[in-house]
């Protein structure tokens, strides 16, 4: 590492093939005063390092050209790369990658998904620490400055007289001046925090009698009343009788490091919104609880708490209010479970309950020392009573009720994942019974899960049995009220349950992977229908087909689309494929390649649900998109929620600036239609114009309306949806 003058701005080399991540990291580091250079290809890292000689390198583990482990080893092998800090970016749960990083010579690692506020602190700390060590190596003449930078001071103790020598930096750490009296061992001990004084004194006494060195980390109270954390290490000299006569060591103020470590610990183990433990820490609680239950022959209760209709709060009052409700719920849970006195016994002093935020509006509670299901029921009832009390948020009274599922260890299972799953099943049973109650898990509740499996098996055969069919929802050019395109929507004509909407089986198909077969069937069916329309030369609509992200994982999407075009012999201009935001954030290079290949076939690409996930301008520029679709959640509240209106306006402006077409979905009212049109969105779809129609109803609609709706909507003000000419599908 090169010598840096006081006004020098350190340079960080960020190597990652993901442009969006590089932008985030660069912004975070520049905010902390770093200069940042970027590299997207592993093959350019070594040459860039040699040319720019950066102060710190951040390497992604997976990059094209060369992976991060190999690059780390190659940098360490260079003359100038021995001491430069190298920080690897790895997955949060990828322990193997962490081990490989350190084996390759990495200084530290950062986990993905990135916690942006933490990056600046982490790199700043690494930079300071590394610079301090380098200064210590450069020359003894700069030792004093280096010690000040590191908050490090030396001390010596004459064990016969009890007198000590402190360097200036030690005085500074303790908030004292060299003239503040005689320095002795007692002065040090008197400064140790009262809660740790006895343990520190015992540790030092043991070291003086039995050991040749010691290391102690403790808190001290400085002369001005501040609490600091110090690390002191010492070497002990002994005479020929093995009596300790002299001790010499150093004291370092590590307060800042401990604060950073505490921030890292909080981010890793606690929920940032509520401050409650997260699932990772909850697993640790469970492990300790199992040991306790085995020793005391008691049970463990797992309570799965879900807030009823919480989505309604977010949808009607906004997510800011929803977050405040979640924080209040967390406070009531955390405070309430520690007051239960009907489980604790006199001989037990440990806390008998722990609560964690599981996800969204879901919480999990762990109960120790449970004797039987009545104990768990009492806790559940107290939680229910506590959470149903009104919440006053921004002057408004809000009522929230919980549905609670309960499972018991070891009665229902011995694995935490199973117990949580069983409690979750019981919670859904509580919802089925009217919400705002608690239910215990029983084997009979597995019927629901089995029913899910039955439906999955039936879906596997639905295509072969010709039970799936396609409905079509018109997309309207509002100024002319012409049908400018249609979207294909799959339906299931179930032999026992009747017509099932996509919402009834597509999520299950996504979960099981069957969605790829469903998507392929819809694609071939739609292409066949487009061909029929083209042969008749009576319709020229662009038809939209939704494509699940699962198709990209399977890596056969391009081949499937090509076969659909070849078998139907359609003009690809009349086919549009629609993907969701989740596809865009996948770092798999196949996604970009596949979309480019599909675009080269002449097919247009649309991005559905834009604004609800993690898409950004960087993603939109990276992928060959033609159309943005405004999600119906924004359209639904566009008249009552200023945020929804602002987001919608921004999406429309963004689409126009990028020369992308824009479509709003979920239009239900004339007022929504008019406001969207006023904001510049001319293409819209939704039940205000028409619900998804069967092929027959679509033909009737076109035949009776000649693809123009202006006269009808002008007369009635209700679009397609209220017209008797349509047959409900």
The per-residue pLDDT for 15 is 93
What percent of the chain clears pLDDT 70, i.e. is strictly above it? 87
Mean pLDDT to the nearest integer, 584-590: 67
Lowest mean pLDDT among 263-272, 340-349, 574-583, 648-657: 340-349
The per-residue pLDDT for 586 is 59
**Nearest alpha-carbon partner for 632 in 663, 662, 607, 666:** 666
CB 676 within 8 A of CB 664: yes
The per-residue pLDDT for 265 is 73
Task: Give the confidence band of 148 by pLDDT, cuts at 50, 70, 90.
Answer: low
CA 327 – CA 334 distance, rounded (Å): 10
CB 76 within 8 A of CB 55: no
CATH of 151-259, one of 3.30.450.20, 3.20.20.70, 1.20.1440.230, 1.10.390.10: 3.30.450.20
The segment(s) of the chain belonging to CATH 3.30.70.270 are 270-441
Task: Give the confidence band of 149 by pLDDT, cuts at 50, 70, 90.
Answer: low
The segment(s) of the chain belonging to CATH 3.40.50.2300 are 11-138
pTM, two decimal places: 0.44
The separation between the first and the last C-alpha atoms of the chain, rounded to the nearest angstrom, is: 71
3-state DSSP call for residue 683?
Answer: strand
The segment(s) of the chain belonging to CATH 3.20.20.450 are 471-716
User: What digits encode the pLDDT tens for the residues 202-255?
Assistant: 888 888 888 888 888 889 888 888 888 888 888 888 888 888 888 888 888 888
User: What average pLDDT does the chain have?
Assistant: 83
Kindly list the distances between the CA atom of residue 353 and the CA atoms of 279, 285, 412, in Å, as whole numbers in the listed order: 15, 9, 19
The per-residue pLDDT for 444 is 72
471-716 placed in CATH 2.60.40.10: no
The per-residue pLDDT for 48 is 93
pLDDT at 453 over 90: no
CATH topology assigned to domain 11-138: Rossmann fold (3.40.50)
The C-alpha angle 134, 135, 138, rounded to 5 degrees, equals 85
The segment(s) of the chain belonging to CATH 3.30.450.20 are 151-259
Residue 533, φ and ψ in degrees, nearest 5: -65, -40
CA 258 – CA 227 distance, rounded (Å): 12
Which position has the token pair 């299950």? Answer: 508
Architecture of domain 270-441: 2-Layer Sandwich (3.30)
Lowest mean pLDDT among 139-143, 183-187, 524-528: 139-143
Mean pLDDT to the nearest integer, 613-635: 77
The per-residue pLDDT for 147 is 56
Helix, strand, coil fractions of the chain, as percent rounded to 5: 45, 25, 30
Kindly list the distances between the CA atom of residue 372 and the CA atoms of 249, 368, 375, in Å, as whole numbers in the listed order: 56, 11, 6
Q: Is the peptide bond before 615 cis (omega within 30 degrees of 0)?
A: no
The per-residue pLDDT for 524 is 95
What are 152's strand-pairing partners?
Answer: 252
Task: Give the confidence band of 164 by pLDDT, cuts at 50, 70, 90.
Answer: confident
Mean pLDDT to the nearest integer, 423-448: 83
Mean pLDDT to the nearest integer, 553-563: 89
Dihedral sign of CA atoms 240, 243, 245, 250 in order: positive
DSSP 602-650: T-EEEEEEETSSS--HHHHHHS---EEEE-HHHHHTTTT-HHHHHHHHH
Task: Give the confidence band of 612 by pLDDT, cuts at 50, 70, 90.
Answer: low
Mean pLDDT to the nearest integer, 717-727: 38
């Amino acid at each position: 590492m090169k010598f840096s003058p006081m006004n020098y701005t350190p340079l960080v080399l960020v190597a990652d093939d993901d442009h969006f991540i590089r932008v985030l990291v660069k912004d975070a580091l520049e905010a902390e005063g770093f200069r940042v250079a970027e590299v997207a290809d592993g093959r350019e890292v070594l040459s860039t390092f040699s040319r720019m000689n950066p102060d710190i390198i951040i390497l992604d583990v997976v990059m094209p050209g060369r992976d991060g482990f190999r690059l780390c080893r190659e940098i360490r092998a260079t003359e100038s790369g021995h001491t430069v800090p190298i920080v690897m970016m790895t997955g949060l749960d990828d322990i193997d990658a962490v081990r490989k990083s350190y084996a390759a010579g990495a200084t530290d690692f950062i986990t993905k998904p990135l916690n942006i506020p933490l990056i600046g602190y982490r790199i700043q700390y690494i930079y300071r620490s590394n610079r301090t060590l380098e200064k210590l190596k450069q020359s003894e003449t700069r030792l004093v400055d280096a010690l000040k930078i590191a908050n490090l001071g030396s001390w010596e103790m004459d064990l016969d007289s009890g007198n000590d020598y402190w360097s200036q930096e030690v005085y500074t750490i303790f908030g004292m001046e060299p003239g503040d009296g005689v320095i002795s061992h007692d002065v040090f001990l008197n400064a140790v925090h009262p809660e740790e004084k006895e343990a520190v004194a015992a540790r030092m006494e043991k070291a003086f009698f039995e050991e040749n060195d010691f290391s102690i980390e403790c808190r001290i109270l400085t002369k001005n009343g501040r609490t600091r954390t110090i690390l002191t290490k010492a070497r002990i000299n002994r005479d020929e009788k093995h009596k300790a006569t002299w001790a010499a060591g150093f004291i370092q103020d590590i307060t800042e490091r401990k604060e950073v470590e505490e921030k890292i610990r909080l981010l890793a183990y606690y929920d940032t919104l509520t401050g409650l433990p997260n699932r990772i820490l909850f697993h640790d609680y469970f492990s300790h609880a199992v040991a306790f239950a085995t020793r005391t022959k008691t049970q463990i209760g797992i309570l799965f708490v879900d807030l009823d209709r919480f989505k309604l709060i977010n949808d009607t009052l906004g997510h800011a209010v929803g977050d405040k409700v979640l924080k209040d719920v967390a406070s009531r849970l955390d405070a309430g479970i520690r007051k239960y006195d009907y489980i604790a016994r006199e001989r037990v002093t440990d806390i008998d309950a722990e609560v964690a935020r599981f996800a969204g509006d879901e919480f999990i509670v762990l109960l120790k020392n449970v004797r039987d299901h009545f104990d768990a029921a009492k806790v559940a009832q107290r939680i229910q009573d506590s959470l149903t009390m009104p919440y006053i948020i921004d002057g408004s009274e809000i009522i929230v009720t919980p549905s609670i599922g309960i499972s018991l260890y070891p009665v229902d299972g011995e694995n935490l994942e199973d117990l949580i799953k069983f409690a979750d099943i019981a919670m859904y049973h509580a919802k089925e019974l009217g919400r705002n109650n608690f239910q215990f898990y029983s084997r009979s509740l597995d019927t629901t899960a089995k029913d899910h499996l039955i439906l999955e098996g039936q879906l596997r055969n639905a295509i072969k049995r010709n039970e799936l069919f396609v409905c079509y929802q018109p997309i309207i050019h509002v100024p002319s009220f012409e049908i400018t395109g249609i979207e294909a929507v799959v339906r299931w004509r179930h032999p026992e349950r009747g017509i099932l909407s996509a919402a009834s089986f597509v999520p299950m198909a996504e979960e099981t992977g069957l969605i790829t077969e469903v998507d392929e069937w819809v694609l071939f069916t739609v292409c066949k229908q487009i061909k029929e329309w083209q042969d008749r030369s009576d319709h020229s609509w662009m038809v939209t087909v939704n494509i699940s992200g699962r198709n990209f994982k399977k890596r056969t999407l391009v081949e499937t689309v090509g076969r659909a075009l070849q078998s139907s012999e359609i003009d690809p201009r009349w086919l549009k494929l629609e993907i969701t935001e989740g596809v865009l954030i996948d770092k798999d290079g196949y996604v970009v390649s596949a979309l480019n290949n599909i675009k080269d076939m002449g097919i247009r690409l649309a991005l559905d649900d834009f604004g609800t996930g993690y898409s950004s301008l960087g993603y939109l520029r990276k992928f060959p998109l033609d159309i943005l679709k405004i999600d119906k959640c924004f359209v639904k509240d566009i008249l009552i929620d200023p945020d929804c209106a602002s987001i919608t306006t921004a999406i429309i402006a963004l689409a126009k600036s990028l020369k992308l077409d824009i479509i709003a979905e979920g239009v239900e009212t004339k007022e929504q239609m008019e406001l969207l049109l006023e904001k510049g969105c001319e293409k819209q779809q939704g039940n205000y114009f028409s619900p998804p129609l069967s092929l027959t109803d679509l033909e009737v609609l076109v035949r009776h309306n000649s693809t123009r709706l202006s006269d009808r909507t002008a007369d009635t003000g209700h679009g397609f949806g209220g017209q008797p000419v349509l047959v409900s599908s």
